[in-house]
């Protein structure tokens, strides 16, 4: 995290991009800063502004265009927020915003406008969330999200998980994280040990959008989770210029299946301000899913879903 690139010009130069990218990158980064770990940057092709990994973290002038239909709280989490940092939108599952920190700033992220500053500050903060979960017996699964929960150190996470595990009606602990992909070294023996050691059934959901994200270090990190018996799933976002083609998606799903990670969701982009240039029409997404069904085993085809405000769960498009 300390060595991650935070300067848009430095990112452009590290990747040998034509200089015309620099001013747009600098302008867009003022709205949502750059953050890209070197471990992820090393998997990019220098000199290629279209590199599918770079596209996920490179600010572009296009982000500054106002596009109608794209807003700041696209998924209307604000309406489902029970207290600061707890979102209870779907039956049985409560999502905890544990931190605003991520190991990368993904340009398409619906959390780019999340009011993280309103989160309760550190230590006592979680107690209020734990109390809300305790008081609602319908919650059987707690999802640690963010930001990225694995940017928090193991000691603090273990303490939180211990408190959650003391709540009788909570049975499962889900961790939504990009760390195993962005900085795979984060998946240490200690992390796997506390995930395995809790009474709660752990589930890890990683976020890989393109096959080129999976190198040997990522494969090893995924293997450490799966070898420990932790169900590991992947969610991807359908992104124009990143993975909106049949070959990229087929390769991604194959590589995941070969690594015992199940493709869980392919998300239709949330219509968040600044991300309009990533949008792929649903019609194209449906065609891509048809192609995946024709070429892959059923378990390797993700569900194509959309977050529709007001729905009782993610809406399944295909
Ligand atoms: C996506 C999401 C979940 C988890 O939904 P699943 O379909 O169970 O993966 C839970 N809470 C919120 C607020 C979500 O956006
Ligand atoms: S919440 Fe996930 S998708 Fe959004 S910036 Fe953080 S790591 Fe990226």
pLDDT tens, position by position, 236-285? 999 999 999 999 999 999 999 999 999 999 999 999 999 999 999 999 99
Q: Is the pLDDT confidence value at 182 over 90?
A: yes
pTM of the model: 0.96
Q: Is the pLDDT confidence value at 112 over 70?
A: yes
Helix residue spans in the chain (DSSP H): 8-14, 21-29, 38-41, 54-57, 77-80, 125-135, 154-165, 179-182, 189-197, 216-227, 246-258, 282-295
Nearest ligand 2 atom to the CA of 105 is 5
- All structural domains of the chain, each given as residue ranges with its CATH number in brackets, are 8-64 (no CATH), 77-316 (3.20.20.70)
pLDDT tens, position by position, 191-213? 999 999 999 999 999 999 999 99
Regarding the beta carbon of 237 and ligand 2, being less than 6 Å apart is answered no
- In sequence order, the 6+-apart residues with CB closer than 8 A to the CB of 151 are 1, 99, 101, 102, 103, 179
Average pLDDT over residues 97-122: 81
Query: What is the pLDDT at residue 80?
Result: 78
Which ligand number lies closest to the CA of residue 176?
2
Query: What is the pLDDT at residue 296?
Result: 98
Which ligand number lies closest to the CA of residue 76?
1
Q: Is the pLDDT confidence value at 82 over 90?
A: no
Question: Which token pair is 49?
Answer: 């502004």
CA 294 – ligand 2 centroid, Å: 31
CA 222 – ligand 2 centroid, Å: 18
Q: Is the pLDDT confidence value at 114 over 80?
A: no
257 or 121, higher pLDDT: 257
Pocket residues for ligand 1 (CB within 6 Å)?
Answer: 87, 89-90, 93, 95, 143, 307, 313-314
Query: What is the pLDDT at residue 121?
Result: 58
Query: What is the pLDDT at residue 278?
Result: 98
**Mean pLDDT across the chain, nearest whole number?**
95
121 or 287, higher pLDDT: 287
Task: Please choose from 4, 53, 144, 146 the residue to mutate so as to test ligand 2's pocket, defined by most ligand atoms within 8 A of CB.
Answer: 146
pLDDT tens, position by position, 48-68? 999 999 999 999 999 999 999
**Residue-level length of the chain:** 318
Average pLDDT over residues 33-40: 97
pLDDT band for position 119 (cuts 50, 70, 90): low
CA 91 – ligand 1 centroid, Å: 9
- In sequence order, the 6+-apart residues with CB closer than 8 A to the CB of 78 are none
Regarding the beta carbon of 106 and ligand 2, being less than 6 Å apart is answered yes
Regarding the beta carbon of 109 and ligand 2, being less than 6 Å apart is answered yes
Nearest ligand 1 atom to the CA of 80 is 13
> Please, what's the b/e burial string for 213-234 (b: 16 or more CB within 10 A of its CB; e: otherwise)?
bbeebbeebbebbeebebbbbb
Regarding the beta carbon of 102 and ligand 2, being less than 6 Å apart is answered yes
Which ligand number lies closest to the CA of residue 183?
2
């Amino acid at each position: 995290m300390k060595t991650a690139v935070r300067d848009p010009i430095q990112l452009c130069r590290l990747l040998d991009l034509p200089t015309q990218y620099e001013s747009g990158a600098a302008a867009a980064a003022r709205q949502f800063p750059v953050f890209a770990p070197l471990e992820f940057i090393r998997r990019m092709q220098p000199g290629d502004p279209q590199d599918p990994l770079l596209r996920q973290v490179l600010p572009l002038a296009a982000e500054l265009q106002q596009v109608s239909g794209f807003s700041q709280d696209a998924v209307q989490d604000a309406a489902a927020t029970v207290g600061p940092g707890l979102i209870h939108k779907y039956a049985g599952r409560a999502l905890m915003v544990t931190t605003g920190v991520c190991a990368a700033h993904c340009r398409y992220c619906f959390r780019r406008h999340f009011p993280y500053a309103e989160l309760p500050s550190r230590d006592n903060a979680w107690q209020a969330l734990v109390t809300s979960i305790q008081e609602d017996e319908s919650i059987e699964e707690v999802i640690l999200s963010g930001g990225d929960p694995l940017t928090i150190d193991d000691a603090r996470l273990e303490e939180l998980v211990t408190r959650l595990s003391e709540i009788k009606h909570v049975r499962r602990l889900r961790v939504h994280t990009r760390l195993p992909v962005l900085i795979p070294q984060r998946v240490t023996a200690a992390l796997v040990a506390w995930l395995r050691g809790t009474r709660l059934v752990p589930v890890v959901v990683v976020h890989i959008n393109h096959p080129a994200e999976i190198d040997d270090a990522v494969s090893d990190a995924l293997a450490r989770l799966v070898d420990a018996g932790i169900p590991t799933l992947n969610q991807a976002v359908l992104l124009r210029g990143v993975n909106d083609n049949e070959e990229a998606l087929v390769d991604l799903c194959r590589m995941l299946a070969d690594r015992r990670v199940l493709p869980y969701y392919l998300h239709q982009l949330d219509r968040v301000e600044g991300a309009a240039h990533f949008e792929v029409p649903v019609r194209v997404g449906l065609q891509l899913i048809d192609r995946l069904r024709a070429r892959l085993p059923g378990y390797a085809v993700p569900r194509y879903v959309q977050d529709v405000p007001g729905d009782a769960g993610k809406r399944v498009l295909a």
